[in-house]
Amino acid sequence: MDNQQLLDLIGKMTLEDKVAQLVQLAAPFYEGAGDEGQITGPMQAMGITDPMIANSGSILGYAGAEGAIAVQEAHMKKNPHGIPLLFMADIVHGFKTIFPVPLAIGCSWDTDLAQKSAEIAAREAAVSGIHVTFAPMVDLVRDPRWGRVMESTGEDPYLNSLFARAFVRGLQGEDLTEEVERVAACVKHFAAYGASEAGRDYNTVDLSERQLREYYLPAYKAALDEGCEMVMTSFNTIDGIPASGNEKLMRDLLRDEWNFDGVLISDWGAVKELIPHGVAEDEREAAYKAIRAGVDIEMMTACYVHELPELVRSGKVDEALVDESVLRILQLKQKLGLFDNPHRGTNPEREAEVVFSREHREAAYELATRSTVLLKNDGILPLRPEAKVALIGPFAQSGDILGPWSWSGSTEDAVKLDAALNERLGGQNVTVAVGCGIEEGTEEQLRSAVETAAQADIVVLALGEASEMSGEAGCRTDIRLPQIQLELIARIAELGKPTAAVLFNGRPLDLHGVYDKVGAVVEAWYPGSEGGAAVADILVGAVNPSARLTMSFPHSVGQVPVYYNHFNTGRPQGAADAQVRYVSQYLDAPNEALLPFGYGLSYTTFAYDELKLSSEHMTDESPLTISVNVTNIGERAGVETVQLYVRDVSGEVVRPVRELKGFVRLELAPGERGTAVFTLNEEQLRYHHADLGFKSDPGRFEVFVGRNSQDTLNDSFILN
Ligand code: GLC
């Protein structure tokens, strides 16, 4: 169908038919879907009638090739115009083959691998009946109390933008119409959901427009510049107005300034939530505000179907707004080829062939090895081959390593750490004890674990958060490990044996009672289907860890939010001021994070020297070339992510003490010297001025090049 044919189709639809096209319902509403599918929000008595279902535009959270074919066929028979459903679901970091959570993927600093993971996720989802995924989530995050930091790639707008593009490329490919084993992407949550006050989900977001544009918007824009087909509204307010009813955000900025003409979907229930937010009296006002804001699809509430027909008939809402939304939805169906083939890439044979294939699991393994961060190592890692290892803790044999967005994955199929270590060290060298549960445990368990540890040469603790302690509505005010796990660590530490802790968790933790108690700390995040194998290969040294943090680890939750690209203040705490009271500092903790953005260790060591700038001056025609030498002075090959930061020493508004502007990955053999070369140009120095003008200022800039955002060689230049 071409556009005119779509318009003709709309012309044949009644107002009720059109309005129903704007609703998205979860799988249980549909014939043939049974009670299958993923429920990711409050189900409520919705007052949905059969004609509304027959005319609905999309189904949420259903997958499975044969079932999807049956659901689509049953639906199209009921739809008065034969319009196919869009099948949408959350494929955030894998479908059946689960990759590490995005916060882990971000730590790989490898957008090619990220793109590949998205391509594999799209293929598995598409052959299983899904047309659209609610990903990538690109919310910038600075508060580890928030459960959904695991879904983001971290605290830096530049790096988040690179990953946003990579995920969209992997999910959508080059041509969605031709490539049926890809899916349409839906960037979320627009906007600034990660800035929820106090790290509490669904909470207020109140930012200056400049902060919003400088830090929180770039990654959404990057996803759309990469061709992302859909946008999802966020639950939060922006400047006092909930996103799903926010005309300034959705019409003025998204549609008019950014020229986005794709589908805008609400998050689950977010249209009706305009009522508890306190900007709508009832469903009628909620429907009115949402359609005026340009929300095309109402997910899992029924304000549109209940109220829009009367709002249009009474003249309060121009029917053209409804037609506009229907057209965008039909255009997406057209782009996906659903009018020609309503089953698109859905294919039971392909599903059997590719889903959870060895090739896909190998890709998940590789990404997990590249996303696991070595946070501390006093030399006990890698494990000696002949060592007797006690593997202790609630994650020693746990499959709960897939993370909160793995509804279609299988924890049973996940590679557990104990099996992987047994395979690598030999069962006779590995003894396992649970030690305690995630949040509970018994004295007997603790004692038994200490006895097991006492018999071993080395202890590996497998600790962390249950996946439901992260993710949506998984917020915590105390971001330490649960008390019983801290007790286990303390008991084991008393033995004085070499001990490493592996962490399976969805947020930067407060590592009190961990970091200072063990000789090595490995941050595995939720590493996915092949997580146990990846972590085991890092523990035994088959893989040299190369991941680098993309979100700061605070000393304690009292520091939060703590992030690397902060402002300097008028009374910065400096080394010379250590004894001075009246500077910006705490009486009981340092200002800087325990582990900063960009931080991560290796089993080898890299030395930096000869930082060079091609000139002391930059103009908008003559970019700078910046280089630094890096030498692997250790005993084994390794990969170093050399990072480039700048600081605008004096701007029209205050400027961060560091801003990431580039990174280069160098793979170096023992003794090998490499050179990291960066090009820095004037465009990269632009920022939002007081009047929101986006430009650079002439003046001095400092340059920092190094292994993380703190440990760098420094120089400076003048922008003329
Ligand atoms: C949830 C999440 C959103 C997800 C949607 C559909 O509430 O906020 O990220 O895509 O519902 O499952």
Ligand 1 centroid–CA 350 distance in Å is: 28
Q: Same domain, yes or no, for 417 and 526?
A: yes
> Distance between CA atoms of 177 and 206, rounded to whole angstroms?
40
Cα R_g (the chain), whole angstroms: 26
Ligand 1 centroid–CA 190 distance in Å is: 12
Backbone angles phi, psi at 217, to 5 degrees: -90, -30
Q: What is the tens place of the pLDDT at every residue in 475-514?
A: 999 999 999 999 999 999 999 999 999 999 999 999 999 9
The H or E element containing residue 705 is strand 699-706
Q: What is the tens place of the pLDDT at every residue in 88-105?
A: 999 999 999 999 999 999
Q: Which of 487, 514, 540 is the last residue of a domain?
A: 540
The CATH number that applies at residue 396 is 3.40.50.1700
Ligand 1 centroid–CA 164 distance in Å is: 18
**Ligand 1 binding pocket includes 148 (Cβ within 6 Å):** no
- Domain-located, residue 304: no
Ligand 1 pocket mutation pick from 267, 299, 408 by most atoms within 8 angstroms of CB: 267
**Has 2 been annotated as catalytic?**
no
Look up residue 248 and give its amino acid: K
Q: What is the tens place of the pLDDT at every residue in 199-213?
A: 999 999 999 999 999
Q: What is the tens place of the pLDDT at every residue in 110-159?
A: 999 999 999 999 999 999 999 999 999 999 999 999 999 999 999 999 99
- Domain-located, residue 8: no
Q: Same domain, yes or no, for 491 and 619?
A: no
Q: Same domain, yes or no, for 383 and 516?
A: yes
Ligand 1 centroid–CA 268 distance in Å is: 6
Q: How many domains does the chain have?
A: 2
**What is residue 32's predicted lDDT score, i.e. its pLDDT?**
85
Closest listed residue to residue 188, CA positions, set 143, 260, 152, 135: 135
Q: Which of 267, 296, 400, 418 is catalytic?
A: 267
What does the block give as tokens for 362? 């190998």
Angle between helices 218-225 and 157-172 (to 10 degrees): 30
**What is residue 39's predicted lDDT score, i.e. its pLDDT?**
64
Q: Same domain, yes or no, for 532 and 450?
A: yes
What does the block give as tokens for 581? 């009271």
Ligand 1 centroid–CA 472 distance in Å is: 8
- Domain-located, residue 172: no
**Ligand 1 binding pocket includes 90 (Cβ within 6 Å):** yes
Helix (H, G, I), strand (E, B) or coil at 17: helix
- The chain-wide mean pLDDT, for the chain, equals 96
Q: Same domain, yes or no, for 384 and 473?
A: yes
pLDDT category, 35, cuts 50, 70, 90? low
Closest listed residue to residue 211, CA positions, set 535, 611, 567, 451: 567
Q: Same domain, yes or no, for 508 and 654?
A: no
Q: Same domain, yes or no, for 482 and 408?
A: yes
Query: What beta strand segments (E) does 317-379 contain?
Result: 373-377
- Domain-located, residue 407: yes
Q: Same domain, yes or no, for 514 and 387?
A: yes
Nearest ligand 1 atom to the CA of 235 is 8
**Ligand 1 binding pocket includes 139 (Cβ within 6 Å):** no
**Ligand 1 binding pocket includes 523 (Cβ within 6 Å):** no
DSSP-assigned beta bridge partners for residue 608: 630
Q: Which of 540, 571, 595 is the last residue of a domain?
A: 540
The number of residues in the chain equals 720
Closest listed residue to residue 377, CA positions, set 600, 542, 205, 619: 600
- Domain-located, residue 302: no
- Domain-located, residue 666: yes
Residue the block writes with tokens 């994955």: 409
Output the pTM of the full model.
Answer: 0.97
Contact 76, 342 (CB under 8 A): yes
**What is residue 575's predicted lDDT score, i.e. its pLDDT?**
62
Mean of pLDDT values over 341-364:
98
Q: Same domain, yes or no, for 430 and 517?
A: yes
Q: Which residues span the domain enclosing 452?
A: 356-540
> Distance between CA atoms of 82 and 54, rounded to whole angstroms?
10
pLDDT category, 76, cuts 50, 70, 90? very high
**Ligand 1 binding pocket includes 41 (Cβ within 6 Å):** yes
Contact 132, 125 (CB under 8 A): no
The H or E element containing residue 133 is strand 132-133
**Ligand 1 binding pocket includes 405 (Cβ within 6 Å):** no
**What is residue 620's predicted lDDT score, i.e. its pLDDT?**
87
> Distance between CA atoms of 101 and 81, rounded to whole angstroms?
41
Look up residue 317 and give its amino acid: V
Q: Same domain, yes or no, for 493 and 407?
A: yes
Q: Same domain, yes or no, for 536 and 612?
A: no
Q: Which of 540, 560, 586 is the last residue of a domain?
A: 540
Contact 561, 143 (CB under 8 A): yes
Closest Cα to atom 7, ligand 1: which residue? 268
Ligand 1 centroid–CA 303 distance in Å is: 18
**Ligand 1 binding pocket includes 62 (Cβ within 6 Å):** no
Q: Same domain, yes or no, for 494 and 613?
A: no
pLDDT category, 31, cuts 50, 70, 90? confident
- Domain-located, residue 165: no
> Distance between CA atoms of 150 and 98, rounded to whole angstroms?
14
Residues 311/312/315/319 CA torsion (nearest 10 deg):
140
**Ligand 1 binding pocket includes 40 (Cβ within 6 Å):** yes
